[in-house]
């Protein structure tokens, strides 16, 4: 397979190599489920639905999508809906993007304690930011913050980090909207050691209490020693200049929230043994592409499947559900239309209707197709059937 658009190529990789990948290892439940869903997406194993033209010109039986959040094929619709919700939640003001990273030596601790480690990371980032937003020298108000967890880098390697979108201003205790006094949120050289100290302290406490488990082959004293060592190193925290609005960043990050760690558009070639993958930022590398063997690709892909129920996007400050009244107050100050029902979203009617894709229009008259039957587990065999008048 070769070309810029290789729809279904990731499923082909799993179909050709998942059995060899399973041999000699036991997959975690989250990995096994993700692999099974990707393999059966839009096949009879997922059931089917029947669509019909309103004028009776056309009827089609189609297999269902798996709707798994790591599936690159069927995540588009869910991504679009998620992006719209985040845009509705956002306030009409400038935003900063902050990226929190940590030493690579902590990755084994995350791999062995995904849920606990991730929760501590979110809390540490918010606590570090509050050290500055609560200080009148920097802001002296409560901002709105969205945080996005990612565990992969450009080559699908393990790279645990947190993307943060934060309003360049906040609601003060006296009800005023206070804008950031700086063109940047705060100096990264000031935020980095604060984040490092809070996160290290949280990890050490969790180790002492037994909430964090030492990976096989190591013991808690080793990790305490390592955390003390990392406490003397610089941690990279990147703070971007303010954006006029958050839409571009939300859409960029949304592409990875519902479709897995890589989009199929980045895969340039698959020869049944190896994949040629394009870098997202080719100008930063000697070559525009890199190569992964199929088994290594599956290993990296499944490494980044989140546990069931884990929230990889979280909201803090004005965007937290407990501060809905304060959020609506901020909307009024910034002259934004209030959210419906006192919630954190603007009314859906304020947004233009999503265009109907060509696949959901009758090929004869162009009218929208209507779903007339849904079956979640198909007992039939063979390919989908189509009928046209």
Residues 324 and 211 in one domain: yes
Q: Can you tell me the distance from the alpha carbon of 107 to that of 102, in angstroms, rounded to the nearest whole number? A: 9
Tens digits of per-residue pLDDT, 170-218?
999 999 999 887 666 788 889 999 999 999 999 999 999 999 999 999 9
Residues 253 and 314 in one domain: yes
Q: Which domain holds residue 25?
A: 9-69+353-388
Look at residue 289 and tell me if it is in a domain: no
Residues 327 and 229 in one domain: yes
Tens digits of per-residue pLDDT, 335-349?
865 544 444 444 444
Exposed / middle / buried, residue 166 (Cβ in 10 Å: 0-12, 13-18, 19+): buried
Tens digits of per-residue pLDDT, 85-127?
888 888 989 899 999 999 999 999 999 999 999 999 999 999 9
Whether the CB-CB separation of 268 and 2 falls below 8 Å is answered with: yes
Look at residue 273 and tell me if it is in a domain: no
Residues 29 and 119 in one domain: no
Exposed / middle / buried, residue 103 (Cβ in 10 Å: 0-12, 13-18, 19+): middle
Rounded average pLDDT over 77-91: 79
Above pLDDT 90, what percent of the chain? 60
List, edge to edge, every strand of the sheet that includes 237-239. 237-239, 95-101, 158-167, 144-152, 313-317
Q: Can you tell me the distance from the alpha carbon of 10 to that of 236, in angstroms, rounded to the nearest whole number? A: 33
Q: How confident is the model at residue 268 (pLDDT cuts 50, 70, 90)?
A: very high
Angle between helix 247-257 and helix 75-89 axes, rounded to 10 deg? 150
Residues 177 and 325 in one domain: yes
Res 274: pLDDT: 96
Q: How confident is the model at residue 353 (pLDDT cuts 50, 70, 90)?
A: low
Residues 47 and 79 in one domain: no
Q: Can you tell me the distance from the alpha carbon of 71 to that of 80, in angstroms, rounded to the nearest whole number? A: 15
Torsion 160-165-169-175 (CA) sign: negative
Look at residue 174 and tell me if it is in a domain: yes
Rounded average pLDDT over 220-246: 92
Domain tally, the chain: 2
Tens digits of per-residue pLDDT, 3-27?
445 678 999 999 999 999 999 889 9
Res 221: pLDDT: 95
For the chain, report the end-to-end CA distance as a whole number of angstroms.
Answer: 35
Place of tokens 């790591």: 70
Res 344: pLDDT: 43
Q: What's the whole-number average pLDDT of the chain?
A: 87
Res 352: pLDDT: 53
Residues 155 and 21 in one domain: no
Residues 178 and 82 in one domain: yes
Tens digits of per-residue pLDDT, 39-74?
998 888 889 999 999 899 999 999 988 888 888 877
Q: Tokens for 43, please give them.
A: 């096949």
SS3 100: strand
pLDDT tops 90 at residue 240: no
Above pLDDT 70, what percent of the chain? 88
Residues 114 and 177 in one domain: yes
Q: Can you tell me the distance from the alpha carbon of 176 to that of 186, in angstroms, rounded to the nearest whole number? A: 21
Q: What is the pTM of this model?
A: 0.85
Tens digits of per-residue pLDDT, 370-387?
999 888 864 444 444 545
């Amino acid at each position: 397979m070769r070309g810029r658009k290789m729809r279904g190529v990731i499923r082909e990789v799993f179909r050709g190599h998942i059995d060899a990948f399973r041999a000699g290892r036991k997959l975690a439940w989250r990995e096994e489920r993700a692999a099974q869903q990707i393999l059966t997406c839009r096949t009879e194993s997922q059931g089917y639905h029947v669509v019909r033209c309103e004028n009776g010109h056309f009827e089609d039986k189609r297999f269902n999508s798996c709707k798994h959040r790591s599936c690159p094929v069927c995540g588009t619709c869910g991504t679009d809906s998620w992006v719209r919700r985040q845009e509705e939640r956002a306030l009409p003001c400038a935003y900063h993007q902050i990226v929190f990273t940590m030493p690579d030596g902590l990755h084994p601790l995350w791999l062995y304690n995904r849920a606990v480690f991730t929760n501590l990371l979110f809390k540490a980032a918010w606590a570090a930011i509050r050290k500055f937003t609560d200080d009148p020298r920097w802001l002296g108000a409560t901002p709105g913050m969205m945080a996005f967890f990612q565990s992969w880098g450009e080559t699908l390697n393990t790279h645990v980090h947190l993307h943060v979108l934060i309003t360049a201003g906040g609601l003060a205790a006296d009800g005023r909207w206070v804008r950031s006094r700086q063109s940047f949120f705060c100096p990264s050289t000031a935020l980095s050691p604060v984040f490092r100290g809070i996160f290290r302290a949280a990890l050490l406490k969790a180790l002492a209490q037994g909430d964090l488990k030492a990976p096989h082959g190591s013991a808690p004293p080793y990790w305490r020693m390592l955390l003390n060592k990392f406490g003397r190193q610089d941690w990279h925290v990147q703070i971007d200049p303010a954006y006029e609005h958050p839409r571009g960043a939300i859409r960029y990050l949304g592409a990875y929230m519902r479709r897995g760690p890589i989009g199929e558009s980045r895969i340039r070639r698959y020869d049944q043994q190896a994949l040629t993958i394009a870098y997202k930022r080719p100008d930063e590398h000697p070559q525009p592409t890199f190569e992964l063997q199929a088994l290594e690709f599956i290993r990296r892909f499944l490494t980044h499947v989140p546990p069931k129920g884990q929230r990889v996007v979280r909201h803090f400050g004005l965007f937290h559900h407990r501060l809905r009244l304060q959020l609506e107050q901020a909307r009024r100050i910034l002259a934004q239309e209030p959210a419906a029902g006192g919630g954190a979203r603007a009314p859906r009617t304020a947004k233009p209707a999503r265009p109907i894709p060509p696949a959901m229009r009758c090929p004869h008259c162009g009218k929208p197709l209507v779903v007339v039957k849904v079956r979640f587990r198909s007992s039939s065999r063979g390919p989908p059937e189509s009928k046209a008048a």
